[in-house]
Amino acid sequence: MEVSRDVAAVREMLRGAEERTLAEVAAVLAEAAESVARAVEAAREAQPGAWMNSKQAAAYLAGRTEDSFEKIVAKTDIPKHRLTERVILYNRAELDAWLMSR
């Protein structure tokens, strides 16, 4: 009987610790997301128009389609910056330098 009470007490302690840990992880992730969002916004404000998505970069490079641009990116060393797995940005100055180096 005493062992089962001890086990129940340990389980309750673990539940509380797990909840606190998950809350702390969630807070850290939220803070990190806010920090990234602020950094991206600051970069955009510092140099408006300097950062482009694939569609914008494709148009900037001689009016290419986004599909043809992405094929070129896959085959060459065009500089790119991944914000997330799906979000890739291109810097206008880096694209200019890449063009000049060809």
For residue range 32-51, list pLDDT tens digits in order: 888 888 777 766 665 667 89
Residues in the chain with pLDDT < 70?
A: 1, 42-48
Tokens of 95: 């694209």
Average pLDDT taken over every residue of the chain: 85
- Contact (CB, 8 A) for 89 and 53: yes
Q: Whose structure tokens read 């610790």?
A: 17
- The residue ranges of every structural domain in the chain are 1-46, 48-102
Please give the radius of gyration of the chain, using alpha carbons only, rounded to the nearest integer: 24
CA distance 64 to 45: 27
Tokens of 79: 């500089």
- The confidence score (pLDDT) of residue 14 equals 79
CA distance 87 to 53: 8
- The confidence score (pLDDT) of residue 102 equals 83
- The confidence score (pLDDT) of residue 44 equals 65
